[in-house]
Structure 1
Amino acid sequence: MQSTTTRPYQFEGNLFVSDITQDLISNDFKGQLPQDFQLDEKAKLADEIAAAWAIAKANWAAFQQSLDRLPADDVATTVTRNKWAIPLLMCLGYAPILTNAETIDNQSYAISHRVEEGEAKPPLHIVGCRVGLEKRPPSGTPRISAHGLMQEYLNRTEHLWGVVTNGYQWRLLRDSNLITRLTYVEFDLQQILNGENFAEFGLFYRLFHRSRLPQGMDDADKCLLEYYHQQTLQQGGRVRDKLRDGVESAIERLGNGFLEHPKNDELRAKCESGEIKATEFYRQLLMLIYRLLFLMVAEAREMLTDEDPEKRRIYQEYYSVDRLRRMSERPLFQSEGFQDLWCGLLVTFKLFDENWRGKVLGLSPLNGDLFGSSKLEYIENSKIDNYDLLLAIRSLSVYEYKGKNGKNKQIRRINYEAFNVEEIGSTYEILLDFCPQISTSEVLKFQLIKGSERKSTGSYYTPPELVAQLIKTTLDPVINEKLVNLNTISEKEAALLSITICDASCGSGHFLLAAARQLGKALAQVRTGEHQPGRKHIRKATRDVIQNCIYGVDLNPLSVDLCKVALWIEGYNKGYPLSFLDHRIKCGNSLVGVMDLDCLKEGIPEGAYTAVTGDNKAVATKLKKRNKEECKQLGQQNFFDTPVIQAERDRYTQNASEIGLTSEITASDVRAKQERYRASRHDSSWYRDYTLCNLWTAAFFMPLVSDLLPTTETLYRLMSEAPSQGVQEIADTVNKLAVEKFFFHWCLEFPEVFQDGGFSCILGNPPWERIKLQEKEFFAARDAEIANAQNKAVRERLIKQLPLNNPELLEEFELAKYDATAQGRFVRGSSRFTLTAVGDINTYSIFSETARRLIAPTGRAGIIVPTGIATDDTCKKFFGDLVQNQNLAALTDFENRDGLFPEIDRQIKFSLLITTKQPTPATKFSFFLTHPRQLEDKQRVFTLTPQDIALINPNTLTSPVFRTQADAELTRKIYQRVPILDNERTQVNPWGISFMTMFHMSNDSGSFQGSKSSDALPLYESKMLHQFDHRWATYERLDVRDASLNEKQNTDFQVTPRYWVDKQEIDNKLAGKWDKQWLLAFRKITKAVNERTAIFTLLPIAALGDSGQLMLVKISKPNLVACLQANLSSLVFDFVTRQKAGGTNFNFFIVKQLPVLPPESYTPQDIEFISSRVLELVYTAWDMQPFAQDMGYQGAPFVWNPERRAILRAELDAKYAKLYGLTRDELRYILDPSDIYGAEFPSETFRVLKNKEMKEYGEYRTQRLVLAAWDEMESGEIAQ
């Protein structure tokens, strides 16, 4: 364990991996050749560094003499700059120049220098050597510390890198707007020069030289420092991957090491008999891994040992895990049949357990669950060979590093001193990927099988940038609000420590760690009065925050363990025990259970007795009827809310509050807290309510196969009677079921929180999974043949064979299937999810409703969910309620195009959803982002009021999806002028529109013919249609292809479909709804980024598959229908459509809310202008003659002419721009925003169309033709 106090440099945060100190002295590493330092290529870099060293030593001596002559109260700013810092900087290639203070948003930033002439040059801030970089100057000017000033300046400007120094400490800082922890590189030149540390000065030279920084703002992302930083992030990813592999390897090595050791007969016997289940064995192996990880981090950071050097030496040489790491890293070690290292490691663990045996060595008391004596019950008394133990530790200690171009492979040590606690989250990923198994064949073997656990929990490690953004928009406002109008330190401290933060699906604690850091920093700022408090103050404040403010729940016990370990590491302070966390970090299903005890008054909901697959419907009907009568009879009796009951609840709530406030200064404090908490779980009043809640919830999960199941009467008996044998049996049954199903009753688990109305802040990235058993995922770790079956039919056939092949697996499958349907019954029938229990339920939507309910009246919730929460029809009730109640603070949408979540599809869109309970007059929106840093572009962020949303989406109150404020303003203008197609709220439907899905490709497949019969008509699929074109594509055998120009110019050509349908069936479908021999249809599947989004066209009478939809119009005049077709195919209409199409499904509810000119808005001149052009565009083949005849045209079809068609369409687009009330510049914007705002503008409209035409014609032809048509209309050249 190298002492961190003797090393004259430190890497705080993740600017650079500490291994860079090895890379910097390598000629293979980028930027380390003489010419990279602005030297002649023949020069020797070592000589230049030696010369700089000599000059620095001389200047240092002169500087020290100048300091001696200054008064004690002089902070030495001038001397530090002129005698030391600037001369040294000039040796490093700088030409520092003084600069004036800069004002940004009414805040002054008195950065002293630029690295050279020019405001775009990187900032350099030099203060006096008698002022700490993290201390505010005694004069109070500037307002914050030097470090804080530079960091804030970088965060609020386009500068990416800066240097701050007081002459002694030199720091490199980077813009860290989305980072919640201190981040910098520091070299202590006082220690380097006084200690004659030439090698460390060489590292300083190689990292701080002027050539490392940007030349200006424009090339900041290309400078060497940024290259090193990005390499660090990439290497961090590689190290994470290696650590994941290492954890997997270590667990399997340990598991098999224990099972194989000849002295572990008892362990093997218990595993073979099933007394020890694979999951239980696995959990203990994980606890061992967690202990090792914790000690590796704590030892590397010297968080454990006494200042006494002899005690430190004894621990390091005889007890430390680092000792085992060093042994495992030796080139050769082999199995010798000894197990003394395991015995020694158990002794090390005992030094930190509840008995604090390490006191004699000056070790900090850890106590806590992590080192509890019962945590390794199965393996503590077992043996493991030294060889197996060292191999496991080696897997956690080193990784293989590939140098430049994959060459020069090296074995590198994982640096746990710089270990980011969030790395535990990446370990969590791999742990949830596996199902543990112990094979009981001839030789016991423990193995981790790739399974569905992670998929079935919907768990994905959240990128730090997203976590930071959520903290910024959710927690920071809560912190700021708490401090309003408070004056004293004690008031502010109490206010901050009263904040309660919860993640209802906490996983490994990524969000909770970030929240604890942020709130800890705010607390440290209050306590110290410093804008940038020191690490010691932040660490102590973070521990206090973890103890007082942090709550978490997760369904997976392994993730709960991981979360605790992460919080223990983050909050550990030398000399203090590990915090007690059992009362705050809990295992349970956040979505299943009672949220408010008031629901008990109403009895058990009748939805609990709705039959699902596996239930007896007759029994279900009988139970539902009986329960309904009981609710009527017993509902008038006030059993649940008497003064006595309320007093009992107040008492156990107060007890929970007192437990939370209990100090944790000593190990005995923690033990006392733990014992008091455990006692509270057996409090008679609390346990009575717990059992009542379990019975209420269990009613939804018990198979309805017997009429002896509990009903509302049982609930009342349990409340009002002394427990009889029958009642007690029911209580025991439901309490057992509660443990099995992880029921979680928020009001009982955290009563002190709900006494205050809820949490101050909810954060998280909940699972995004359907509440429906996914067969493929279930069998992934259980039966590979079933999981990998070719299709659903084959899978079902294999499942049907399970009674013979594997009856135990069949039973497990049936139970899992029933559990999933029972959870669905709870979600739909419990009245907990009144706004989101709609359609095919996804957990993200019901988590969203849960998060909203969990916050206090002044609280705030921020979660990451699919963007469908704001745009999908199934979520419209929830989102509409947010809008109507002004509870939506912000919605920030991201596309996963750049792989923010590498594990999920790049097409997925997700959002940061920020909700409140206090009215928010306007909501901040951003859409189509690919990285949080894009939020710094003000053009991408816009606001919408509830009135705006009601104007644009009045039926659903869902969100439009604008790229920029300009998109929002133009769309708002259009909606203010033009009504929507079908307003369900006002019942105004000017065109008399209705929709029809004609034939379902699967359900109606029996009606399809493979070849044409005499009375059959083609079955069109949407991919065969395009705007004004019913002959877009045709089938050739089984493949579809675009129709050729020659084919389209042949007026007799008709497309060949894949299937045909009897005309009588088509007539039956349309009977009473449509009497024309032509149809108006549109594509159901589309995207906002396609060449065109809204694809509507007229086509001859035919069948239409479900990838397309029919639009049936009650207006009987064909020339008006032609106007409707033209409107729906116009660029203006398509522009608005793109603001609505958040996904790929162009659903009815989207189409209904699009702005369409009503029939009465057209003049006779408009109708003639439009319909004549539509006729020429549509009537290009004889099969569309019925439409032409209905239009009064008796001639032959118009021959397909691409140039003529382009002009006709351009004239229609220009016409509709005028009818929609646009200006020429607004039309220019719709065609191409960059034509108005420049190439860097973040919005796009018809980029794919533009790129296609640039490639085909060498110009954006549509733009030219449409604007020319506009101009000709303006001049009168084209009569309107």
Structure 2
Amino acid sequence: WLAASAGALCGAADAGESLRALIADSDHHAAAVCRSLRDGVLAASSGILGALTGGGPSRPVRSLDDGFEQSLTIVYRILFLLFAEARSLVPLWHPVYRESYSVEALRTAAAASPHSAGWWDALRAMARLAHAGCRAGELRVTPFNGRLFAPARTPLAERRDLDDEAARGAVLALSTRRAPDGAGRERISYRDLGVEQLGAVYETLLDYQPCAGPSGVTLQRGSGVRKATGTFYTPQPIAEYVVRRAIGPLVRDATPERILGLRIVDPAMGSGAFLVAACRYLASAYEQALIGAGRCHAADLGERERVAIRRQIAERCLYGVDLNPMAVQLARLSMWLATLAADRPLSFLDHRLQTGDSLLGASLVHLARAPHRRKRSGKSDALPLFDGEAVAEALRAALPVRFSLEATPNDTIEQVREKERAYAAITARDGLLSRWKRIANVWAAAWFSSPNRPVPAAAFGALGDVVLSGRGALPPRTAEAYLSAAEAIACARRFFHWELEFPEAFFAADGRPLSNAGFDAVIGNPPWDMIRADTGAADARDRARVDIAPLLRFTRDAGLYSAQSDGHANRYQLFVERAIALTRAGGRIGLVLPSGLAIDHGSAPLRRMLLNRCDVDAIVGFDNHRGVFPIHRSVRFLLLTATGGAPTRAIGCRLGLDDPADLEAAGDEPAEQSPWYPVQVTPEMLARLSGPALTIPNLRSPVDVAIAERAAALFPPLGDAAGWNARFGRELNATDDRAFFHPADPHRADRLPVVEGKHLDPFRAAAGRTEHAIAASDARRLLASDRHERPRLAYRDVASATNRVTLIAAVLPARCVSTHTVFCLRTPLPAGVQHFLCGLFNSLVVNYLVRLRVTTHVTTATVERLPIPTSEMAPARFRQVAALARLLARRDDPAAFARLNALVAALYQLSASEFEHVLDTFPLISTELRR
């Protein structure tokens, strides 16, 4: 009654009895429990880490990371059992198990006996039972496979001198949380927690690293991994939407066999959120296909049967890769929990969920050539170094085993262990496939070679001969040194050679390439971090340069990537290109990406590739002001789905969302037929609006489309020869040129003010309030021109589409210079033209046009592409706008600003309703001023 009464269904959102209020309370509670779980995992991991690494120098740990990994394994064991107990997937009905081997029994004892002993013995006993299982009378405990609970995974925990309080504290930290009223602790209900919450745990753990101190080894914040790699937990509604939109077309009207034959991969899987969502979605589709084919009725399928289906999907359809071993371990845990059956061991997933760098590796095509720098076409006149039949022989030896691993069930522990043995055999160092992996490592390592670890590119063929036959042209000692260096680099960089790791996605059983090779779908939320070395302290920048330089050399010259710009690269760009390469023709792509893919100038080559080689069907854009991801609230991101192997026809867009829950309203019909996507854009439209860059503006409604298209039709781009042919650029760099800066001194005529972005306001530059100055002679030498001797239009670089206004411009006075946070006009234009442009730049209409195309920076490419009228097109309004800009440079005048905006709206032929729409996009501008 509380949830279904008329009052609940119709009550106001803020009424305590309304259904929406109940849902909000539930969400708030779930978020609080999730935070408690994260805090508990940190506390438990830190305590266990301290216990495992204690004991003095007589018991050294190989490394802090080794101790951390073992402590996490123990934490994962407890988490796994808590989830399993909450779902009655272990024999809690039996008193012996319930009272002696359950985490719940340990929790009760921990709460009742603060200083009791035997806690490590209890955890070891639970792990042994889960690992080996047992049959004793009526008690049947199904053994799990050896990965998670094997004693060999945690040798440090086998010591007998471990601190019992650490184990007791871990049990309490993971099974209870502080009560909301602050009075004691209460149990965490793991039945109400989804497996997806492990993603939040993973995201939190990335921020911590083990550190040794006077009081022992602890976890401390500051690893910087999460921020540095742009790795974030994806909320469940987003993962489910991407999976539904990406995989839906593949399962629509598909047979059960076709669904089981799909191969879905997440190349940056993190804790497995997308794979869990894909597992559930495919299982549901498979169930419906069985019913549709008449093989069963809906009433025949209970929870037991549905779990069996999910296990099949996980074992046969899903693949994942991640650079972080901790993520891979947690992804396996997530998949095990999502497919856990009471009477079955954990599925063997080692061959499907792997550790590696998805971006670094070699394809077999590249192994035919030495790793020399090549053109991005990848063409070479050199003869192949290796016979393709040799590779096919290795594949013929491995593929039958790979196919049997997916076809054989995981119903008994014997079957699982047989799979472990079979996989170990084909991945053994002396196996044929492993030899080709070593050759691929040599090829990739050549790009990362250094004087202390040389792997000469010229020696590649000879080293390959040594690996394959044991003989070669190089002296044995030299060859061994080069091969050892290559293996060390491969281990450090975690090279991942896709065709050799997942050959069944690319080759038939006879070792020949598939006619339509690749995965059926590539899904995920890849890292968004910039690959650069110009931030942080000097020593940090130096270390980063050493690490990044070979990575950039590889991505730009090795031939695997052809759509990267010459500017700063972002890792997501590489992942998009990798996704295109991994997807078969007709396969699907579904990714979460920063909005830079749509609008950044540096992503233009990638956009062209994406739109030419993929049929992008839908883009959903999000503003982050609600903190969907723990990044700056002004950053936007998007969800993109596409089909590989065909050019884009039309993209259904829904932009400007801020709540992932809104995705639940998106239907399953094609985006071009769905009213949920209010805007449809085509490549032809993008070319009209953005030129060859094919920028995808933030068009949220048909009104936005009408305004943008009309502006592009009316006026040429600012930087076009048919327009003002204007070019902007930077002058000084505040970091690189700081040695030439002096404190500002108005009495020194030989020194020029140094203007920064913060000194620019709309229409005005505060050149008299700068903190720094530079000698006129130094300025002339550094700038290699005398442009700074005359007034010139300038605008701020750093801005945001969510600020009060985005494009902030002023005419700089003569005899001043600016830093890299300001872009200055380089084209010599008359003063009247510069004031006219200044007026346009600061107008709300042009700001609106800019906001359609920016993230956090207003680049020169964006400004030079703006449709701007010339003086011949409207001479009277040209003079009026220039005069108002001069007036507003002298003083604030709201009436003059309003007149200027009205003039600009008339220039762009906006109707009254369109102008009102533009003004409504500036909520931080006062109502009076907008009028």
The residue that corresponds to 2:825 in the other structure is 1111
The residue that corresponds to 1:923 in the other structure is 651
Tell me how far 1:254 sits from its aligned partner: 3.4
* Residue 409 (structure 2) pairs with residue 658 (structure 1): no
* Cα distance in 1 between the residues matched to 2:784 and 2:36: 66
Tell me which amino acid in the other structure corresponds to 2:392. Q
* Residue 97 (structure 2) pairs with residue 315 (structure 1): yes
The residue that corresponds to 2:30 in the other structure is 236
**TM-score under structure 1 normalisation?**
0.65
Tell me which amino acid in the other structure corresponds to 1:1151. V
Tell me which amino acid in the other structure corresponds to 1:883. L
What residue ranges of structure 1 are gaps of 5+ in the alignment?
1-91, 93-206, 261-266, 487-491, 609-627, 777-791, 800-812, 1036-1054, 1182-1198, 1233-1243, 1255-1259, 1264-1280
The residue that corresponds to 2:419 in the other structure is 673
Q: 1:542 aligns with which of 310, 330, 341?
A: 310
Q: 2:188 aligns with which of 414, 417, 424?
A: 414
Q: 1:739 aligns with which of 483, 491, 498?
A: 491
SS of alignment partner, residue 693 of structure 2 = coil
Q: 1:994 aligns with which of 721, 724, 727?
A: 727
SS of alignment partner, residue 284 of structure 2 = helix
Q: 1:554 aligns with which of 309, 319, 322?
A: 322
**TM-score under structure 2 normalisation?**
0.87
Tell me how far 1:1025 sits from its aligned partner: 4.7
CA contact (8 A) 2:455 2:485 kept: no
Q: 1:606 aligns with which of 373, 378, 403?
A: 373
Tell me which amino acid in the other structure corresponds to 1:760. D
Change (3 A) 1:963 1:934: farther
* Cα distance in 1 between the residues matched to 2:46 and 2:769: 59
The residue that corresponds to 2:799 in the other structure is 1086
Over residues 7-61 of structure 1, what are the superposed CA-to-partner deviations in whole Å (9 max), with x where a residue is unaligned?
xxxxxxxxxxxxxxxxxxxxxxxxxxxxxxxxxxxxxxxxxxxxxxxxxxxxxxx
Change (3 A) 1:566 1:1149: same
* Cα distance in 2 between the residues matched to 1:1015 and 1:774: 32
Q: 2:882 aligns with which of 1174, 1198, 1223?
A: 1174
The residue that corresponds to 2:202 in the other structure is 428
* Cα distance in 1 between the residues matched to 2:760 and 2:219: 51
Tell me how far 1:360 sits from its aligned partner: 6.6
1:1061-1210 alignment, distance < 5 Å: 1078-1098=791-811, 1100-1106=813-819, 1107-1113=821-827, 1124-1140=837-853, 1142-1159=854-871, 1161-1162=872-873, 1166-1168=874-876, 1170-1171=878-879, 1174-1175=882-883, 1177-1178=885-886, 1202=893, 1205-1206=896-897, 1208-1209=899-900
The residue that corresponds to 1:327 in the other structure is 109
* Cα distance in 1 between the residues matched to 2:627 and 2:422: 47
Change (3 A) 1:1089 1:396: closer
The residue that corresponds to 1:573 in the other structure is 341
* Cα distance in 2 between the residues matched to 1:1201 and 1:1096: 15
SS of alignment partner, residue 526 of structure 2 = coil
The residue that corresponds to 1:475 in the other structure is 247
Tell me how far 1:548 sits from its aligned partner: 0.9
CA contact (8 A) 1:271 1:438 kept: no
The residue that corresponds to 1:1227 in the other structure is 915
Tell me how far 1:637 sits from its aligned partner: 3.8
Judge which range, 582-591 or 636-645, deviates more. Answer: 636-645
Change (3 A) 1:212 1:662: farther
Change (3 A) 1:774 1:765: farther
Over residues 449-489 of structure 1, what are the superposed CA-to-partner deviations in whole Å (9 max), with x where a residue is unaligned?
22314334433222222222222322223332xx3xx5xxx
- Over the aligned positions, Cα root-mean-square deviation in angstroms equals 3.6
CA contact (8 A) 2:741 2:772 kept: no
* Cα distance in 2 between the residues matched to 1:1201 and 1:386: 71
Tell me how far 1:1078 sits from its aligned partner: 4.0
* Cα distance in 2 between the residues matched to 1:1172 and 1:226: 53
CA contact (8 A) 2:598 2:695 kept: yes
The residue that corresponds to 1:110 in the other structure is none
Over residues 544-595 of structure 1, what are the superposed CA-to-partner deviations in whole Å (9 max), with x where a residue is unaligned?
111111111112222211111111111011222110011011111222212x
CA contact (8 A) 1:1019 1:1059 kept: yes
Greater gyration radius:
1
Tell me how far 1:894 sits from its aligned partner: 1.8
The residue that corresponds to 2:358 in the other structure is 590
Q: Which has the higher contact order (CA 8 A, sep 6+)?
A: 2
Tell me how far 1:214 sits from its aligned partner: 1.9
The residue that corresponds to 1:1245 in the other structure is 921
Tell me how far 1:948 sits from its aligned partner: 1.0
* Cα distance in 1 between the residues matched to 2:735 and 2:543: 30
Tell me which amino acid in the other structure corresponds to 2:422. R
Tell me which amino acid in the other structure corresponds to 1:349. A
* Cα distance in 2 between the residues matched to 1:816 and 1:1073: 36
The residue that corresponds to 2:586 in the other structure is 858
Judge which range, 1055-1064 or 1103-1112, deviates more. Answer: 1055-1064
The residue that corresponds to 2:289 in the other structure is 526
The residue that corresponds to 2:605 in the other structure is 877
Change (3 A) 1:279 1:968: same
CA contact (8 A) 1:865 1:910 kept: yes
SS of alignment partner, residue 1247 of structure 1 = coil
CA contact (8 A) 1:940 1:963 kept: no
Change (3 A) 1:268 1:679: farther
CA contact (8 A) 1:955 1:1153 kept: no
Change (3 A) 1:300 1:774: farther
Change (3 A) 1:1171 1:458: closer
* Residue 9 (structure 2) pairs with residue 214 (structure 1): yes
The residue that corresponds to 2:448 in the other structure is 701
What residue ranges of structure 2 are gaps of 5+ in the alignment?
508-513, 667-674
Change (3 A) 1:1016 1:1180: farther
CA contact (8 A) 1:588 1:742 kept: yes
SS of alignment partner, residue 691 of structure 2 = coil
Change (3 A) 1:318 1:962: same
Tell me how far 1:956 sits from its aligned partner: 1.7
* Cα distance in 2 between the residues matched to 1:352 and 1:428: 24
SS of alignment partner, residue 1248 of structure 1 = coil
State percent identity of aligned pairs: 26
The residue that corresponds to 2:671 in the other structure is none
CA contact (8 A) 2:53 2:67 kept: no
SS of alignment partner, residue 329 of structure 1 = helix
Change (3 A) 1:775 1:531: farther
The residue that corresponds to 2:59 in the other structure is 271
* Residue 640 (structure 2) pairs with residue 905 (structure 1): no
* Cα distance in 1 between the residues matched to 2:592 and 2:554: 24
Tell me which amino acid in the other structure corresponds to 1:284. Q
Tell me which amino acid in the other structure corresponds to 2:462. T
Change (3 A) 1:476 1:410: farther
Number of aligned residues:
896
The residue that corresponds to 1:4 in the other structure is none
1:71-82 alignment, distance < 5 Å: none
Tell me which amino acid in the other structure corresponds to 1:416. Y
Change (3 A) 1:1169 1:741: closer
Change (3 A) 1:854 1:835: same
Judge which range, 413-422 or 497-506, deviates more. Answer: 413-422
Over residues 1122-1165 of structure 1, what are the superposed CA-to-partner deviations in whole Å (9 max), with x where a residue is unaligned?
6555554554433322212x223221100111111245x43xxx
CA contact (8 A) 1:1081 1:1096 kept: yes
Judge which range, 1106-1115 or 229-238, deviates more. Answer: 1106-1115
* Residue 643 (structure 2) pairs with residue 895 (structure 1): no
Tell me which amino acid in the other structure corresponds to 1:991. W
CA contact (8 A) 1:603 1:715 kept: no
Change (3 A) 1:342 1:1017: closer
CA contact (8 A) 1:1019 1:1102 kept: no
